[in-house]
Structure 1
């Protein structure tokens, strides 16, 4: 029986989850900071932190925060796929196949 379909299924799933993880993380932090900016005592801190995060993302996106988060997501996706390939290879070698 071929192990190729299982490998590709695992590879695609690992790539998609690795791509989504930083996007969800940064999106959640930015959404939380956006909600915190409505509270008067922490408004300035939340807005400053949000601006710093957007500036950090703009560094990776050639001036655009959206491109920055996509660049980070694609990079994480490649790393996740490489790790999954390594884990699959090690599993096959330890099993004796």
Structure 2
């Protein structure tokens, strides 16, 4: 779950930014700036590739979630 959640959130944000740009009346400059800014952040983590950046963030979140689950397992095992 800790790995899948960041991938879904990043994918939804990228899809939402692309979908909002289709509707008339929405300032295209604002949507393009948000998409470019979010894309640039992901490119930094992914060595120039957006989806590699999403994967790196998801792996990091999965690792932290795994450590948290391990901590909780040992903590509550010793309490009972």
Tell me the TM-score normalized by structure 1. 0.77
Q: Name the residue aligned to 2:35.
A: 50
Structure 2: gaps spanning 5 or more residues: none
Residues 1-97 of structure 1 mapped to structure 2, 5 A cutoff = 17-42=1-26, 43-95=28-80
Task: Spell out structure 1 runs of 4+ moving beyond 6 A.
Answer: none
Kindly provide the CA deviation profile for residues 3-28 of structure 1, in whole angstroms up to 9, marking residues without a partner as x.
xxxxxxxxxxxxxx111111111111
* Bigger helix fraction: 1
User: What is the RMSD computed on CA atoms of the aligned residues?
Assistant: 1.0
Which one has the largest radius of gyration? 1
Structure 1: gaps spanning 5 or more residues: 1-16
Number of equivalenced pairs: 79
